[in-house]
Amino acid sequence: MKTTIKFWGGLHTIGGNIAEVTYGTDRIIFDFGLVYDPASSIIDTKERKQSYVLDMLKLGAIPSIDGIYSRESLEGDSFSAAKPQPQEDSSYQTAVFISHLHLDHMGAMDTLSAQIPIYMTEDSKQLYDALERVGEGLSLHKETIGMSFGQTIEVGEIRVTPIPVDHDVIGAASFLIETPDLTIVNSGDLRMHGAHPEYTEDWLTFMATRDIDVLLIEGTTFNPDKKDTETACKEDADILKVGKDALSQKQGLGIFNIYHRNIDRIQTFLQMAELTGRTPVLEAPTAYLADHFLHDVQFMIYLDASCKSAVTTEQLLTKYKGVSASEINQNPASYLLQNSYHSIQNLLDLDLKDSIYLHSNGMPLGSFDPAHQTMHALLERFGVTYQSLNVSGHAKHEDILYIIDRIKPRVLVPWHSHYPELIKPLDSKQEVYYPKLYETWEPNSLTIT
């Protein structure tokens, strides 16, 4: 009996990485997210909850894997779409492991059968639960199991251990996967220039002491058209200084746009407000996350129409003060206001004279998203200065190559990249394997079926 690996997604995409490791009738799957491509998204099926799983299969948004979807969720005619075997008929002992809480790694886990255990780190679980409370859960509720870093979960004869890595979301993990005949590492998404580079350094030091058979490494930043882009902020540590300097040059409102799953980034902007003598104002969902995950912080809550009916907002307003657009307009220079893209229309209520918009990895992420042009058009219409404070959540080229060279796996598998073939190890003798979708690979015999 030999360990096999099957790849269901993520080989030439950013996200949507899904791989299956099987030993006999024991099986683990990691991750279970969606490919992020707003320019080519087809339709939204979230409201069709009764047919949600079958709809997603028809759209090709989730893979047709046997034994992971419930019989009930597969009821109906799939037409030309392949309908997988329901979980109730499967002989496999299966568990799913989520490396971190970005949608491209966990956004489809709500399609899974309730009988399939879903593991994520305790920090990820806390964030997952908090996001549900602020209305940012997935289409269907899904129970999850938290695990501590370093805790080994056994799925039959497969052992999975999460180890922390630095990424732009709390709880991010790499997985060490051990079977009777193979040791596999899934890097997850990671970097060495973020808020916690020591996480990745410690992970790398540990992995370098192990004999790794297969290393699955992310390659998000590899692109034939450009190398690592020049930005005002090369690492997380630059954001505070660059943002503070930009704000000090403006006599009007400070506005910022972040992805609030990055709790460290919330903290950075609260510090930025304090250093510039401005009052930080958070949208209600972000305020809830800040209150839940950060300590001894002060901010106000922006009172717009969408937040006034939220139960979480009512609770928060017993602890923090609210502020309206009209109150901000009395002295805009006194505030640093959060404005996520989905609420960009709120800018129409504000005095934007001599204001600045600090964009720090919030949606839209880049020019590949049609909303990016819309955002810039609106800012230009009102003369708002745009300042990018983006810092990638993914390792730079040289850091990926350094990681590979330190770990020295028997076989390297690049994925989570549009261009995995551009990842050229420093050691010319390093074996690199480029799998194909849906093939079953036996790394110990190098056979493919």
pLDDT in tens, 143-188: 999 999 999 999 999 999 999 999 999 999 999 999 999 999 999 9
Structure tokens at 250: 């403006």
For residue range 114-131, list pLDDT tens digits in order.
999 999 999 999 999 999
Are both 4-224+394-448 and 236-388 of the same fold?
A: no
CB 212, CB 243: distance < 8 Å: no
Average pLDDT over residues 233-257: 96
> Does the pLDDT at position 41 exceed 60?
no
**Confidence band (pLDDT; 50, 70, 90) for 244?**
very high
Q: Which residue has the higher pLDDT, 446 or 367?
A: 367
What pLDDT, on a 0 to 100 scale, did the predictor assign at position 44? 65
- CATH 3.40.50.10710 is held by the domain 236-388: yes
Q: Which residue has the higher pLDDT, 323 or 228?
A: 323
Structure tokens at 68: 């992971």
What pLDDT, on a 0 to 100 scale, did the predictor assign at position 82? 83
Q: Where are the domains of the chain?
A: 4-224+394-448, 236-388
Sole residue written with tokens 């602890």:
319
**Confidence band (pLDDT; 50, 70, 90) for 196?**
very high
For residue range 409-433, list pLDDT tens digits in order.
999 999 999 999 999 999 999 999 9
What pLDDT, on a 0 to 100 scale, did the predictor assign at position 421? 97
Average pLDDT over residues 223-252: 88
What pLDDT, on a 0 to 100 scale, did the predictor assign at position 78? 83
Task: Give Cα separations from 100 to 2, 91, 119, 177, 402 (angstroms).
Answer: 28, 28, 10, 16, 23
pTM above 0.85, yes or no: yes
Architecture of the domain whose range is 4-224+394-448? 4-Layer Sandwich (3.60)
Angle between helices 197-208 and 397-407 (to 10 degrees): 30
For residue range 373-423, list pLDDT tens digits in order.
999 999 999 999 999 999 999 999 999 999 999 999 999 999 999 999 999
CB atoms within 10 A of CB 375: 19
What pLDDT, on a 0 to 100 scale, did the predictor assign at position 80? 81
What pLDDT, on a 0 to 100 scale, did the predictor assign at position 42? 54
> Does the pLDDT at position 306 exceed 70?
no
- Residue 38 and residue 44: Cα distance in Å, rounded? 11
- C-alpha triplet 292, 293, 294: angle, nearest 5°: 105
Alpha-carbon torsion angle 267, 269, 274, 275, nearest 10? 110
